[in-house]
Chains A and B, each alone.
Chain A
């Protein structure tokens, strides 16, 4: 056992830490509170930040060198995420492009597709959204109904996608569409589609936070050139699974850093407001314990990566852990703060440290997106515990 970063990884971390210090003018939480910002200007701010990260060589670090890679592994990526969290850096805007589509293109795309799509994706000049979920296909993704029929050298797309994160700001969408109505898994294809294609309408959806960070996308005879198919016809499901494996990668350490800071800020607020009773102290202590266990889970995953081990379905445990903890933490936080915890960001008396009310609302999302907690438990029951399956 050794849970200490190697000298090489420590060097990487220290360089990155120094770079972040030099390049972040103020923490993201302060940026968010600046009244000069609108939802659009915050998006532009994040785009500019992403460009900076890219030019400094911190995006696509684990990709082949021609795409900006520098031989990094999951270890550097985990350190990167944890350091961004520690510095309270702005979130990377094109997270779905870099996090999901990038790996799909590297593993399954053509050389032309990689050359065409990867550089603007990394720079932030083309923002991607993910067209997987549909009104009738959420957890049961393979029941999706959006169709792609062939017409000469084009696909013609019809159908609807929903809960499309960044839909309202994105330039492109990667779509899972049905190319064969009879083959449940083998009838799905993975198609890159420009959102300003005639026949496509994007409508923002207002979320419970009041923001419209996701939307719905309608396809009505939208014509997409066939060269935008990734892999072969009918390989979409397999590619999507590759992509989702990346989405469920190791984030526990970065989350533990972020929550650790917010728990500290909550404890400071409790002190400031004279909230020192036994009940308050116990709640704070339990938050620290749960967060430290998450950190231990994250260190274990990081050490396993460094040891050349690839996480399997047990990574569902980490997804459930952080997302369920986030809900408990944010609920506890606004309970401990009292009525002021529910104030909106720009309200008088709103605390300057964290947007507690928004975090409380936002925490409801984590156990739904990217495979709900229920789906993760199904995965654990079936693929980790090997429990007998429901005979239905």
Chain B
């Protein structure tokens, strides 16, 4: 038994951390987030593709890295730490789904190489509620409307849920942007009346959902770990009443609780990643647990970060709101807490 990462995994972790710190530091990316309509720049995306991240989960024969859930968690954790803008995680999930569907062709190769963007479109309503399928597949065409499609404005292809199964649709698309509070993310509403091919049943998304839970909870873990670090630095240096504010027990005990949630998140995330990689019988429970727990934990840690910074914490200028907002995206999407709690109950037979 060993909780620590293997040598290769540690190497992936340190190289990813260095790469993101150098190329995607917030002081650099926040300009893109604020001003670029697509939410990312093509040269930066190419750099990410050169690292092999988009096809991380895709077999080598199809142009990917053939890595697994633990490596996904490692990269996502680091992406969370810098609030990485852009479609990386959404593309990773779409690529893994395409590969699982056996669509290992030129499109997937181009996605892995960063030449094309593909994401998954599955929401039939902008609000949570009845999941009635309103997108239809018939006679080689998909018709309908999808909401909160990740990076729809940049997408060359979409994997679309329909009444007949999962359909692959190639652009261009008619997209209405749906700006949210999270500047690192872009969502769109897509109206579909396109030629399409069915790639498989919707059950293909079951494994994607588990990968999404692992990757999203790892991102949330990275977000809260970094947020906690920033807060710790502030508490050690900011003085009031002639002493560092970190010496006040009122803050110390809350910091201890934030660390408890952060470290417990680390345990839950990597246990889930390991379960999924090892096809452990506890996989469904561990994945849903990780996502449900880290959603709550990140919200708490990032909110406490804003609070403990006081007035400056409420400013646009300081970085902490990026983490606070990013945490909300990841808490809601990739299987909301509510959805994960249902999965937890079904995993324990209730």
Contact = CB atoms under 8 A, between A and B. Distances in A.
Contacts of B278: 3-4
Contacts of B345: 281, 284-285, 288
Contacts of A288: 285, 289, 344-345, 348
Q: Size band of the A side of the interface?
A: 35 or more
Contacts of A299: 3, 267, 271
A317 B264 CA distance: 9
B252 A285 contact: no
Interface stretch (B140-148, B155-163, B253-261): B253-261
Contact of A285 (B232, B263, B342): B342
B247 A297 contact: no
Contact of A388 (B246, B272, B289): B246
Contacts of B172: none
A376 B2 contact: no
A282 B338 CA distance: 8
Given A1-B274, A302-B1, A296 B264 contact: yes
Nearest to B243: A391
B203 interface: no
A81 B5 CA distance: 27
Interface residues of B, number: 53
B6 interface: yes
Contact of B247 (A271, A285, A295, A387): A387
Interface stretch (A34-42, A166-174, A218-226, A303-311): A303-311
A292 B3 CA distance: 16
A6 B1 contact: yes
B212 interface: no
24 contacts: A2-B2, A3-B3, A3-B280, A6-B1, A264-B348, A281-B350, A285-B342, A288-B348, A289-B289, A292-B286, A292-B289, A293-B264, A293-B265, A293-B293, A295-B271, A297-B263, A299-B267, A302-B1, A317-B264, A381-B252, A381-B255, A385-B259, A387-B255, A388-B244
B3 A304 contact: yes
A307 B6 CA distance: 12
Interface of B: 1-6, 9, 70, 232, 235-236, 243-244, 246-249, 251-253, 255-257, 259-260, 263-268, 270-275, 278, 280, 285-286, 288-290, 292-293, 340-342, 344-345, 348, 350
Contacts of A300: 3, 266-267, 270-271
A317 B259 contact: yes
Contacts of A6: 1
Contacts of A381: 249, 252-253, 255-256
Interface of A: 1-6, 9, 75, 264, 267, 271, 281-282, 284-286, 288-290, 292-297, 299-300, 302-304, 306-307, 314, 316-317, 320-321, 374, 376-378, 380-381, 384-391
B128 to A, nearest CB: 13
B297 to A, nearest CB: 9
B2 A292 contact: no
A267 B344 contact: no
Contacts of B236: 386-388
Contact of B256 (A4, A267, A307, A376): A376
Given A294-B264, A296-B264, A317-B260, 20 more contacts: A1-B70, A2-B274, A3-B275, A4-B1, A9-B1, A267-B348, A281-B341, A289-B288, A289-B340, A292-B293, A292-B344, A293-B265, A299-B267, A299-B271, A307-B4, A377-B253, A385-B255, A386-B236, A388-B244, A389-B247
